[in-house]
Amino acid sequence: MRERTDGGVLLAYLAKRLVELTAVVFLISILAFLLVHLLPGDPSVAILGPFDTPSARAEVLRQLGLNRPLPMQYLTWLGNVLHGNLGRSFLTKQTVATTIGEAFPIDLELVVVSQVLAFAVAIPLALVAARRPNRALDRLATATTFGMLSVPAFILAVLLALVLAVEVHAFPASGFTHLSNGVIPNLKSVALGSIALAAGSVAVYFRLLRSELISTLQEDFITMARAKGLSTRYILMRHALRPSSFSLLASAGINIGSLLTGAFVVEYLFQLPGIGYQIIVSIDSRDYLMVQGMALVVAVAYVLVNFAADLLLGVLDPRVRRG
Amino acid sequence: MRSRAGWTSSRTTRHLIFPPVDQALGPMLEVDGLRTSFRTPRGVVRAVDGVSLGLDRGRTLGIVGETGSGKTMLARSIMGLLPAGGRDRLGVERSGTVRFAGHDLTGLPPAQLRQVWGTQIAMVFQDPMTALNPVVRVGRQITESLRLRMGMGRSDAKETALALLSSVGIADPGRHLRSYPHELSGGMRQRVMIAIAIACGPRLLLADEPTTGLDVTIQAQILDLLADLQRERSMAMVLVTHDLGVVAGRADETAVMYAGRIVEQAATAELFAHPLMPYSQALLAAIPRLADAAGTRPKPIPGRPPDLASLAPGCRFAPRCPYARERCREADPPLVEAGSGHRFACWYPLSLEDADTPASDLGDSQGEA
Amino acid sequence: MGESRRPLGALFWVCLAFIVLVILAAALANFLPIPSPTAQDYAAINTGPSLHHLLGTDDLGRDLLSRIIFGARVSLVIGFGSIAIGLLIGGTLGLLAGFRGGATDAVINAGSFVILAFPPLLAIVVIVAFWGRSLWKLTLIIGIAAIPQLFRVIRASTMSYANRDFITAARAMGASTRRIIVRELLPNVAPSAISFALVGVAVVIVLEGSLAFLGLSVSLPTPSWGNIIFEGASNNNLQLNPFIALWPALAMFLLLTSLNIVGDRLREHFDVREGGL
C-alpha cells in the first residue's frame, strides 16, 4: 500500500511536469514560427539575400504561405513539422533534418567527453577538499575554481589553442576527425574543445559538491555512521556523496542540456561541425529557414533533456518523491 | 509483539554475541575528570566540565538534565565521537580519562578508536529522522556494519539484519529492509536505530534521548525493548534523558547533570526518595504524575541554564535556586559523597537529616575545577 | 545583527576600485591622451609595448590600450545596461509577486518558469541573428533574457521578508502596497539584488564576448572586448602577435573576477539568514 501511495505521488508529479512540458514546447513552436517575421522587410528578400530571383522568391512565399492569415500559416507549418518536414536549406538543398542528424553526434561526443573529464576532476577534488574544510588544499582548490569561474570558455579556448596547438602542436587546432578514421585521431580532434567546455563545469561542480558535502558532513547520520566505526573513506563515498550530489546533478542536467544544444563558441572556434556550428554557419549565409528549423529542434531537445534530468533526480532522491 | 524468533538458536547468533566479558577486569566504564570544551567565536564553551563516573557490566546509568546541560556531549565525549569543527565551532578539546573494560580510550589514535565504535560501544541517537541516512535503504544501514566490521558475507549479513529487525519488534522485516527511513513511522525508525546500534553486539550502549519525540505508549515500548535487549545481551547502558520519568525503574543509578557537571548521583530509588540538590528536586517536581489532581501542571523550573561561555563564580544553579544564599554565589560547591554512593554538589543540601551520614562526615570532593 | 556581519575585507575594496577604474576610463575615454581606437599607425604594426603604444599595437597598427578602453564601453554598456533592464522589470515583478503572493505570484512565477525553460544562449543568438545587432538591440535582448532570473532572486528575497513583523506592522497601520514595497521591502531586498546583479553583469560580459566570437556582437570596426579578443584569435594573429588577444583577455578576466568577488562578498556580508533573529 505504501508503494502505491509513493507511486501515486510520483505519477502526480510526472503529470504536472508533463503539462508544463507541453505548454513550453507549444510556446517554443509559436516563437520559432514567428522568428521569420522578425526579419526586417519582406522575409523572402531577407531569406534569399543575394540569391533573390523571382522564381526563388515565389518558392519562399509558397513555402512560408505568407499570403494567408498568421494562425493558418502556423497550423500548416506545425503540420509539416510534426510530419518531420522541417524545411530545406535554400543553399545546400539539404533538409534540416539531415543536417541535424549529421551534426548531433558531434555535440553528443563533446558533451560526453567534457562531462566525463569534469566529473573525473571535480568529484575527487571535492571529496578531498570537504574532508578537511579550510585547510590548505581546500583553500587552494576553492580559490582556483573561483578564478576559473571568471575565465570564459572562449578565452580558455584561445589559450588552449595558443599553447597546445600553435606552440606545442599536440592537438589539431581545428577540424573534426570522424570516428571512422580511428578513435585516437577522433578524440584528439575534440580534445581541446572538450577541455575548454570541461573547465567551466569543473569549477561549478566542484564548488557545488564541496559546499553540499560540508553541510552533509555536519548531519546526524554522518555522526551515526562514524559511531558504527566505518572508515572516513567509506563514509564519504557511501553516506555523504549521494545525499550531497543532487544539486550537482541538477546543475549537470542544465549544463548538459545547454552543451547539447550548441556549444556555439567552442564548436565555431575549433571548427567542430556540431549543431552550434551549423546554426552559426547558417546565420552567416542567411540560411534562415535552416536556423529556424534547427532552433526549433534544439530548443525542444533542451527542454526534454531538462525534463529527463528532473525525472532522474526524482528517481535518485527518495525525498523528492514525498512531494 | 517483540518476537525474538531465531535470536538465540539461529546460526548467525554466534556473530552477534560478544565473547563473555572477562570478570577479572574492573568496571565496564570508568570516567575520570572528563572535560570537553569548544572554541567558539564567543569564547570557550565548557560543554562537559570535569565529570567522573563509573558503570558496572550489565548495569544502567541514567543521566538526566535539561537541554543544554551537556548530557549529550557527555555521551559523545565518553565515546570520543566529537563533532568536527564547523562554522561556529573552531575547535574541540577533550581531557580526562575514559577507561572502557580497563582500556584507556582517550589516548587511542582515531583508527584504533574506530575499532571500538560499533562493536564495543554503540550509540542510539536522539532523532532517528536525522540520524538515519535518508537516501540509503534501511537494509544497507544495518548490514554495512555487519559486513565491514564483522566480516560477514552478503547473505549472512542480510539474514542477521532480518533477525535484528524482528528482535527489535518490526513485523515483516523482509519488506522493511528495502524501505527508506522516511517510509517508516517514528517508532519504527527508532527500532531500526536500535537494531543498528546492537548489530555488532556492543558491550556498552549509549542511548541519547532514545524516546524523545515519540508518543507515550511507544516511549514505554522502546524503553522496555532496550531493557530486554540489555538483559539478554548483558550490555551496560547509559540512558541519557531530560525526563526523570524515563529513568524511574529502569536505571540502577541516576546522575543529574547541570551546566556541564554532575550535580547529584545516587541509586535511582534513593535519588527519587531523597534528592539532596535543589535542582534534582526541581526536576522531580517537573515530572507529571498520574496521581496529580486533574488540572495540576508539573512545575517548570524558572529561569534558564547559564551560558557556558561566560560562567559566574559560585554554584552554577544559584541564580535559579530558591534556597541560594551568599555562599552559593561565592564558592562552587564540590561534589561530595553522603554515603552509600550518594554524591551531590550543594552547600545546603535538602533533607540531609534523612540521609545516612551527617554532612560533616562528607567524603573527599571530586570533579572540582 | 550588525556585529555578526562578515567584514568585506581588503580584496573587496581592491576589486571595487578596479571596477570603478574601468568604468571611469571607459566613460572618459574621449578625454584620455590615447590615440583613436581605429587609427592605424602603419609605422607600428604588431609592435610590443612602447612609450607611444603602452600595450603595443595590433596587426593593423591600432593602439591596443586605446582599443581596450574604448572596447570597455561596449562591454560595460551591454553588461550594466541589460542587467539594469532586467532589474527594473524583473525586480518590480519580483517585489510585487513576493509581497502579494496568491494569484499574482502564481501567474508571474509560471511565466518565469516558461521563459527559463528556453535555452538562453540559443534564444539570444537566434534573435540577434534575425533582428539585428546594434548596441541597443543587444542590450535590450539580453536584458529581457535576464528578467526571469532576477525576478526569481528578488521574489525569493521579498518572500523571506514579507511575513516579518515590521511588514505586518506597516500593513496594520494602513500603509499602501506601494509604500510598503518602496519604503520597507526595497531597502531590505536591495543588498541581495545588487550582489546577484553584479554577478549577472559578469555573465553578460562573457555573453557579449561569446557573441563576438560568433560574429554577432556589435559590427566590427567598433571595438568591444569580445571583438578584440576574437580578432586577436583570427587571421593567424595567435602565431604572429598573441598579445592582441591576451591583453583584452587579461582585462576581461580581471574585471570578471572583480565583479564576482564584489558580488560574492556583498552577499556574504548582507547574508542575515544565519545572523540570529
Averaged over successive runs of 10 residues, the pLDDT of chain A (323 residues) comes to: 54 80 87 77 66 72 69 83 79 83 89 94 94 87 90 87 75 76 82 89 92 89 92 92 87 82 82 89 82 86 83 70 43
How confident is the model at residue A4, as a pLDDT? 44
Q: For the segment B14-35, what is each residue's pLDDT rounded down to a tens digit? A: 333 334 444 445 788 999 999 9
Contact C126 A268 (CB under 8 A): no
Contact (CB, 8 A) for A295 and A93:
no
Termini Cα distance of chain A: 17
pLDDT of C238 strictly over 80: no
d(CA B358, CA C40): 106
Q: Which of B333, B327, B322 is nearest to B366 (CA)?
A: B333
Across the interface, do C129 and A291 touch by the CB < 8 Å criterion? Answer: yes
More confident residue, A73 or B332: B332
Q: Give the pTM.
A: 0.81
For residue A116, how many C-alpha atoms fall within 13 Å in the half-sphere facing its CB?
8
pLDDT attached to residue A67: 65
Picking from B369, B345, B314, the residue whose alpha carbon sits closest to that of residue B35 is: B369
Whether the CB-CB separation of B203 and B121 falls below 8 Å is answered with yes
Residue in A closest to C236 by C-alpha = A166
CB contact under 8 A, A229 and B182: no
pLDDT reported for residue A45 = 67
**What span, in angstroms and rounded, lies between the C-alpha atoms of A67 and A71?**
12
The confidence score (pLDDT) of residue A181 equals 79
Beta-carbon count within 10 A of B326 CB: 10
Residue spans of the domains in chain A: they are: 103-285
Q: State whether residue C250 sits within 8 Å of chain A by CB.
A: no
pLDDT digits (tens, 9 = 90+) for A124-168: 999 999 988 888 899 999 999 988 888 988 888 888 888 877 777
Q: Nine-digit cell at B269? A: 530509588
String of DSSP letters for C3-63: TTSPP-HHHHHHHHHHHHHHHHHHHTGGGSS---TT---TT-SS--S-SSSTT-B-TT--B
A-chain residues within 8 Å CB-CB of B115?
Answer: 229
Give the highest mean pLDDT range of B160-164, B351-355, C43-47: B160-164
Type of residue found at B91: G
Residue B358 has pLDDT above 80, yes or no: no
Q: Do the domain assignments include residue C5?
A: no
CA contacts within 13 A on the Cβ side of B133? 29
Q: Which residue from C120, C130, C213 is facing A154, i.e. has the nearest CB?
A: C213
Question: Which residues of chain B have a Cβ shorter than 8 Å from any chain A Cβ?
Answer: 79, 81, 83-84, 86, 114-119, 122-123, 125-127, 130-136, 144-145, 148-149, 179-180, 182-183, 193, 196, 200
Give B36-87 pLDDT, tens digit per residue. Answer: 998 888 888 889 999 999 999 889 999 999 888 889 899 999 998 887 655 5
Which residues have C-beta within 8 Å of that of residue C64, sequence separation ≥ 6?
C53, C55, C56, C57, C58, C228, C243, C244, C247, C248
Q: Which residue does chain C place closest to A258, by CA atoms?
A: C119
Edge-to-edge strand list for the sheet holding B261-267: B121-124, B204-208, B236-241, B60-64, B253-258, B261-267, B343-344, B336-337
Classify residue C42: in a domain, yes or no. Answer: no
Which residue blocks in chain A are alpha helix, DSSP H? 2-38, 43-48, 54-64, 70-82, 96-131, 136-148, 153-160, 183-216, 220-227, 232-234, 241-244, 246-260, 264-269, 275-284, 288-316
Mutate to test the interface with C, among A34, A265, A277, A294 (most CBs of C within 10 A): A265
Question: Which residues, 6+ apart, have CB-to-CB distance to C163 below 8 Å?
Answer: none
Return the closest-CA partner of residue A198 out of A139, A123, A119. A119
The confidence score (pLDDT) of residue B359 equals 42
Q: What is the pLDDT of residue A284?
A: 82
Q: What separation, in Å, do the N-terminal and C-terminal C-alpha atoms of chain C show?
A: 8
Q: Do B134 and A319 touch (CB under 8 A)?
A: yes
Residue B366 DSSP label: B
* Residues 6 or more apart whose Cβ sits within 8 Å of residue A143: none
pLDDT of residue A271: 87
**C141: which 3 cell numbers?**
535582448
CB within 8 A of A81, min separation 6: which ones? A29, A296
Question: Is C32 a domain residue?
Answer: no
Show the cell assigned to B363: 567524603
Range of the domain at C246: 11-22+58-270
Q: Which amino acid is at B357?
A: T
Tell me the pLDDT tens digit for each residue of C55-102. Answer: 777 777 788 888 889 989 999 999 999 999 999 999 999 999 988 888
Q: Which of B347-361, C145-159, C226-240 has the highest mean pLDDT?
A: C145-159
Tell me: the pLDDT tens digits for C120-179?
888 888 888 888 888 898 999 999 999 998 998 899 888 888 878 888 888 888 788 888
- Determine, yes or no, domain membership for C17: yes
Measured in angstroms, the CA of A310 and the nearest CA of chain C are apart by: 12
A151 touching B (Cβ < 8 Å): no
Domain A103-285 fold is MetI-like fold (1.10.3720)
Chains sharing 3 or more CB pairs under 8 A with chain A: B, C
Lowest mean per-residue pLDDT among A161-175, B245-259, B297-311, C221-235:
A161-175
pLDDT level of residue B352 (50, 70, 90 thresholds): low
Contact indicator for B329, B259 with CB cutoff of 8 Å? no
Is C37 within a domain? no
Q: What is the average pLDDT score of chain B? A: 82
CATH of the domain at C136: 1.10.3720.10
Alpha carbon A34 to chain centroid, angstroms? 24
Cα separation of the two ends of chain B: 49
- Please count the CA atoms within 13 angstroms of the CA of A71 that sit on its side-chain side: 0
In three-state secondary structure terms, B61 is: strand
Is residue C73 within 8 A of residue C259, CB to CB? The reply is no
Measure the CA–CA gap between B4 and B167, rounded to whole angstroms.
4
Q: Which residues of A touch B79 (CB under 8 A)?
A: 227
Is residue C49 a part of any domain in this protein? no
pLDDT value of position C87: 94
Other C-beta atoms closer than 10 Å to the C-beta of C24 total 11
Q: Which of A237, A221, A228, A223 is nearest to B196 (CA)?
A: A228
Distance CA C30, CA C40 (A): 17
Lookup result for grid cell 512560408: A64
CB A286 within 8 A of CB A222: no
Q: How many domains does chain C have?
A: 1
**A296, A306, A256: which is closest to A109 by C-alpha?**
A256
Instruction: Say what percent of chain B tops pLDDT 90.
Output: 44
Distance from CA of B130 to the nearest CA of A (A): 6
Does A40 contact C at CB distance below 8 Å?
yes
φ, ψ dihedrals at B206, nearest 5° = -100, 110
Closest CA–CA distance from residue A21 to any residue of chain C (Å): 9
Does C238 reach chain A within 8 Å, measured CB to CB? yes
**Closest-CA distance of chain C to residue A151, Å:** 6
Smallest CA–CA distance, residue B81 to chain A, in Å, is: 7
| Contact with chain B for residue A146, Cβ under 8 A | no
Closest CA to B266 of B334, B335, B342: B342
Does the beta-carbon distance from B182 to A322 stay under 8 Å?
A: yes
A303 and chain C: CB distance < 8 Å anywhere?
A: yes
Q: Is C213 on the interface with A (CB under 8 A)?
A: yes
What confidence score (pLDDT) does residue B2 get?
41
Is A228's Cβ below 8 Å from some Cβ in B?
A: yes
Lowest-pLDDT choice from A40-49, B100-109, B137-146, B214-223: A40-49
Question: Smallest Cβ distance to C126: which of A151, A152, A295?
Answer: A295
**How many whole angstroms separate alpha carbon C272 and alpha carbon C2?**
9
A38–C contact, CB cutoff 8 A: yes
CB pairs below 8 Å between A and B: how many?
Answer: 86
pLDDT in tens, B114-162: 999 999 999 999 888 889 998 899 999 999 999 999 999 999 999 999 9
Q: Chain-centre distance of CA B244, in angstroms?
A: 13
Q: Which residue of A has its CA nearest to B132?
A: A221
CA distances from B321 to A172, A193, B302 (A): 82, 73, 9
